[in-house]
Amino acid sequence: MSEDTPVLRARSLDLGYGGEPVLRGVDLEVRRGELWFLIGPNGTGKTTFLRGVLGTLAPLAGQLELEPELRDRRRLGYVPQRCELNPTLPTTVREFVRLGFVRSTVPRGERRATRERALARVGLENRARASYWSLSGGQRQRALVARALVRRPRLLLVDEPTEGLDVAAEDAFRRTVVELNREQGLTLLFVTHNLHLAARIATHVALFELDGRVTTGSASELLEHDVIERAFGISLDLASREGS
Amino acid sequence: MIESFLGSWELFGTTWMVGLLIAGVLSVVGVWIVARDHIFLGAAVAQASTLGVAVALWLAGAAAGLRSLESDAGATAFAVAASVATAWLAARVGEGRSESHEAVTGWVFLLAGSIPVLMLAHSPHGLEEVQRLLFSTLLTASAGDLGFFAAIAIATVWAAVALHERLLLVTLDPELAGALGLSRRAWAGALAVWLGLAVGLSIRSAGTLYTFGCLVLPALIAKNVCREVSPMLWVSPLVAVSAALVGFVLSTGLDWPPAHTSVGLLAAGLPLAWGWRRLRRD
């Protein structure tokens, strides 16, 4: 497989519910090692796009192609916006993370070591036996990332992970994501309303607009003052890019 | 007391075996009910089984050609059909947004609680049967019931072991299960059928109280004594079978109704489990 083969390619893609498109004519190509931020106002279809990639929503028109190794979705990692766990249930961090192995390609004999590596990667190696409910909001988000990482993903989808986190937790989360992308070469699609975070770490941006269209480009092109003002109706000067 | 229990085995051995199997099977199904916080669904499904029995008896009384529905097999088939349909419909309604899950299960519970009595109000034999189901007695369990429950217990153990990982994911986090390629609708349907089958078969042999008690109380106890959900799948049946066995021994020695004794023990155990969890502080 060539390094230049797209991990994901959308062509004239329409996605929606009940036959009614939310997204229209999306063209987007994601390559290995890219860190994409999907930004846009509420209701513009960012999570809908992730559902399309996950295969839980079929295209209404057009094509959404994944590289061959991803077609059965076994090496897709997904960090949801929220977790539906019943808060009265007893569960530990290790049990929570173990859920990520369902339909994965990781052999049974390697699962324990994989889980421990994933927990270490997000800084929770000492909390494996702790109750999931004893974790702070930021730690729970990192546990969600560990749960996605145990699948040894080639593509990681992250849906608004920093919502409700304080500045320190958000910063810890940002560092984890940057490490995964830059040190391990993991390809990421990151849905967020946090434009400052996008400005700091995104390599590419997809701007979802209210008419269902999606504009793609480099972070420096799309996080321009004028583009943000047109899309969000606000005047915002974003901080400069991290490491550039 | 134990001697008296062992002495009763010749006469009631089938009853005790059926009671233990019912306790074991329902307490595993109950882990899903408790984990999803659908406890009222358990009550509604149990009540719906009673409605199924009432419909069978009413039809048998209304048409001479349907008299065979009065038999154990006929009434059991209707009980199972009613409970499976209720559990499946409740799962489907839960997917929508027009009404809450609790509201629908509450409606089913009240409907299934009132209609049987109205249908059989002028049939002394039928009303007696409905009251027997509501009262709960294990003493009518037959060899056929034993075969049914042995089969369903084997299937339950197989499912709990072979599908353990997927079962756990669907139970704990259905959204992630969907994202990882498991069909939420198919799993919810399969679990509903499993619940309906276990409850529907149990109702005829053990009545509403024993069925509902074994469905939710052992799983609630397990939830409070376990640190993870995974061990709840064996702690819950262990608690259920132990309480049922002790209940049967006590009921034989003290001449108490066995179903009520066992459920009373389980109900008394739950506050102890709450205390244990509080002491453990998590």
Which chain A residue's Cα is nearest to B36?
A86
- Cross-chain CB nearest to B35 (options A72, A73, A86): A86
Examine residue A122 and state whether it is found in any structural domain, yes or no. yes
Rounded-to-5 percentages of helix, strand, coil across chain A: 35, 25, 40
Examine residue A112 and state whether it is found in any structural domain, yes or no. yes
Examine residue A4 and state whether it is found in any structural domain, yes or no. no
Q: Domain range spanning residue B9? A: 2-273
Q: Chain A partners of B224 at a C-beta cutoff of 8 Å?
A: 90
Q: What is the pLDDT of residues B247-256, one digit of tens each?
A: 999 999 998 9
Give how far Cα B57 sits from Cα of B71, B117, B191, Å.
Answer: 9, 12, 28
**How many domains is chain B partitioned into structurally?**
1
Residue B256's CB is within 10 A of a number of other CB atoms, namely: 14
Examine residue A27 and state whether it is found in any structural domain, yes or no. no
Examine residue B278 and state whether it is found in any structural domain, yes or no. no
- Cross-chain CB nearest to B179 (options A54, A98, A134): A54
Phi, psi of B163 (to 5 degrees): -105, 20
Q: Domain range spanning residue A98? A: 85-152
Asked if the model's pLDDT at residue A244 lies above 50, the reply is: no
Residue B89's CB is within 10 A of a number of other CB atoms, namely: 16
Contacts of B161 (CB under 8 A, 6+ apart): none
Q: Are B203 and B49 in contact (CB under 8 A)?
A: yes
Examine residue B253 and state whether it is found in any structural domain, yes or no. yes
Examine residue A47 and state whether it is found in any structural domain, yes or no. no
**How many domains is chain A partitioned into structurally?**
1
Contacts of A87 (CB under 8 A, 6+ apart): A133
Phi, psi of A35 (to 5 degrees): -120, 100
Instruction: Name every residue in B having a CB less than 8 A away from some CB of A.
Output: 35-37, 165-166, 168-169, 172-182, 223-224, 226-230, 232, 282
Examine residue B281 and state whether it is found in any structural domain, yes or no. no
- Cross-chain CB nearest to B227 (options A92, A101, A103): A92
Which chain B residue's Cα is nearest to A91?
B228
Query: Using 50, 70 and 90 to split pLDDT, how confident is the model at B222?
Result: very high
- Cross-chain CB nearest to A73 (options B172, B173, B181): B181
CA distance B262 to B248: 7
User: Which amino acid makes up residue B117?
Assistant: V
CA distance B228 to B168: 11
Angle subtended by helix axes B39-62 and B72-95, to nearest 10: 140
CATH number of the domain within which B59 lies: 1.10.3470.10
Q: Verify whether the Cβ–Cβ distance A103 to B182 is below 8 Å.
A: yes
Contacts of B176 (CB under 8 A, 6+ apart): A78, A80, A83, A84, A99, A147, B169
Task: For chain B, give the mean pLDDT.
Answer: 87
Q: For residues A152-156, give the mean pLDDT.
A: 93
User: Which amino acid makes up residue A127?
Assistant: R
Asked if the model's pLDDT at residue B70 lies above 80, the reply is: no
Mutate which of B169, B228, B277, B281 to test chain A, going by most A C-beta atoms within 10 A? Answer: B228
Lowest mean pLDDT, pick from A24-33, A41-50, A219-228, B90-99: B90-99
CA distance A49 to A51: 5
Q: What is the pLDDT of residues B3-53, one digit of tens each?
A: 888 888 888 888 899 999 999 999 999 999 999 888 888 888 888 888 888
- Paired tokens of A7: 């991990």
Which chain B residue's Cα is nearest to A79?
B176
